[in-house]
Structure 1
Amino acid sequence: MTETTAMPQDRGASARQGVRRFGRVNWLGLQTLILRETRRFIAVWTQTLLAPLATAALFLLVFSLAVGTRRGDVMGVPFVHFLAPGILMMTVIQNSFANVSSSIVISKVQGNIVDTLMPPLSATELVVGYLAGGILRGMMVAVAIAALMFPFIGLGIHNPVAALVWVALGGAFLGALGIVAGVFANKFDQMAAITNFIVTPLSFLSGTFYSIEGLPPLMQALSHANPVFYLIDGLRHSVLGVSDSSPWLGFVVVALTTLGVAGIGWWMFRTGYRLKS
């Protein structure tokens, strides 16, 4: 009876598979995915970075001209200053969501999603890679808005470190939601429906343009159930030093929600849900 001896290269392959099985990170693959997602939006910077800056400036200009002169102070600060952090966070989360969801949907529609799924990347590495692109785009948009718009309206930042943390957390939450939406949607019209009926209401009905203190009790309760409210309120606290709720409570709520949504995205990648069919 002849005993079959494994070739050295076979033993090496088995060792590499064992390394991955025990959770070692594929740093080269992860770095490549992050670079791809970053270069993807930088290549069209006028659309992904300049356009959000112009949109945020228009929001601030229209609301300040139409309402600001008659509104007076809100929570002890000028109305324009009250608006600025909310508009910044709204722009960040919309761009983070769009970056991740569009990348996945375009790959699915064009049929090249297999190029992302075939390399030896674990579900965790896929989630981290996509989230990194969404967070980085959101942070670049936030820095541009803060650098160009805040000095123009005479607004400083009360706690810059906390502001960066909230921006990164907002990018992570909506980036994770973008993974779930991108995997779930098989067509662009499905993606548009998710954006119009989920993401836009979450961002507009979250205290971006108003303080929830003036809302009826039912609307206040609904606002507190919206994670985006805590993102905007947390950033407003880090910029202005005032907020509608405890920033620590908001941080816990958003962090747990982000982990939950990212976990759903991890499960989708792990099982191949709507990706391998």
Structure 2
Amino acid sequence: MTDQTTGFPDMGVRRFGRFNWLGLWTLIVREMRRFLTVWMQTVLAPLVTAGLFLAIFSIAIGPSRGDVMGVGFLQFIAPGILTMTVIQNAFANTSSSILVSKVQGNIVDTLMPPLSAGELVAGYIAGGVGRGLFVALPIGLLVLPMLGITVQSPLLALAFITLGAALMSALGMVAATFANKFDQMAAITNFIVTPMAFLSGTFYSVEAAPPAMQALLHWNPMFYLIDGVRFAVLGISDSSPLLGFAVLLVTTAAVTALCWSWMRSGYRLKA
């Protein structure tokens, strides 16, 4: 509706249609520029860390290490290290963006523009996925060929990595919304995110774990993510890739719905 006296839309009436594409794109660009501005820290550093992981394991394990599920040990852990790097960066992008805004008191600059809760969630998650893919691309193009790995199903690998990055971006939003201080975020990262990442089968097959740990692994969505990427890259897996993709899809939808609910109500954001 339009005010007849001023010619402008009434207050509270959306003037961008059902979906604010311009506002969403602006938020995505802002989130992408955040990590591209400091690319040595956000893009190059994770690549160096992934390379160090592989170099240290190569030196420590040596040629005496037997095959794992029919492939060499370095080839076995490479997809897991790639995926772990992606999810850590996706989580860091959204969590740091929201938490820094909360601590500095400028979160209102994000909440005031004419963006719905769904558009805000989509913009933040897109930024996290973008950072994850920026890290994954050079690892996939440089590190994997150096290890003699040919990706078996590139599209499936991209699908799993994108879905995993979206899940961790949404988890980063949840963590940053809940936390009010950096030490609270550090506690969430150290006691929840890091154990989920390392207890996901990155460095070992689930068959090598004790029975109790095997049951615990199957409750960890990161296990299905690592296992799915490993299947797409090497053609081997500990569980059904179809089951893993379904688990990731349902988990991502649930966490994204929680983000939308909190963003819509302003939970721990407008206080």
Scaled to the shorter chain, the TM-score interval is over 0.9
**Which residue type is aligned with residue 152 of structure 2?**
H
1:17 to 13, 16, 19: 13
Partner of 1:93: 87
- The Cα of 1:87 is off from its aligned counterpart by 0.2
1:147 to 141, 160, 166: 141
2:214 to 220, 223, 232: 220
Matches of 1:18 and 1:58 in 2, distance apart?
51
- The Cα of 1:14 is off from its aligned counterpart by 3.6
Q: Is the 8 A contact 2:9 2:15 kept in 1?
A: no
Matches of 1:210 and 1:67 in 2, distance apart?
13
Structure 2: unaligned runs, 5 residues or longer = none
2:233 to 234, 239, 245: 239
Q: Percent identity?
A: 63
- The Cα of 1:68 is off from its aligned counterpart by 4.5
Matches of 1:198 and 1:58 in 2, distance apart?
24
2:57 to 52, 59, 63: 63
The two structures, once aligned, show a CA RMSD in angstroms of 1.6
Matches of 2:201 and 2:33 in 1, distance apart?
33
1:276 matched to 2:270: yes
Q: Is the 8 A contact 1:163 1:235 kept in 2?
A: yes
**Which residue type is aligned with residue 172 of structure 1?**
A
Superposition map of 1:21-40 within 5 A: 24-40=18-34
Superposition map of 1:24-173 within 5 A: 24-173=18-167
1:7 matched to 2:4: yes
Q: How many residues align?
A: 270
**Which residue type is aligned with residue 60 of structure 1?**
L
Superposition map of 1:177-256 within 5 A: 177-256=171-250
Matches of 1:263 and 1:6 in 2, distance apart?
35
**Which of the two has higher C-alpha Rg?**
1
Matches of 2:52 and 2:262 in 1, distance apart?
38
1:267 matched to 2:261: yes
- The Cα of 1:65 is off from its aligned counterpart by 1.7
- The Cα of 1:6 is off from its aligned counterpart by 4.5
**Which residue type is aligned with residue 179 of structure 2?**
A
**Which residue type is aligned with residue 260 of structure 1?**
A
Moved more, 60-69 or 266-275: 60-69
- The Cα of 1:221 is off from its aligned counterpart by 0.8
Cα distance per residue 1:162-213 (max 9 Å; x no partner): 1111110110000000000011111111111111111100000000000001
1:257 matched to 2:251: yes
Structure 2 counterpart SS, 1:71: coil
The runs of at least 4 aligned residues of structure 1 exceeding 2 Å deviation read 68-71
With normalisation by structure 2, the TM-score equals 0.96
**Which residue type is aligned with residue 26 of structure 1?**
N
With normalisation by structure 1, the TM-score equals 0.94
Structure 2 counterpart SS, 1:50: helix
- The Cα of 1:15 is off from its aligned counterpart by 9.5
Q: Is the 8 A contact 1:101 1:179 kept in 2?
A: yes
Structure 1: unaligned runs, 5 residues or longer = none
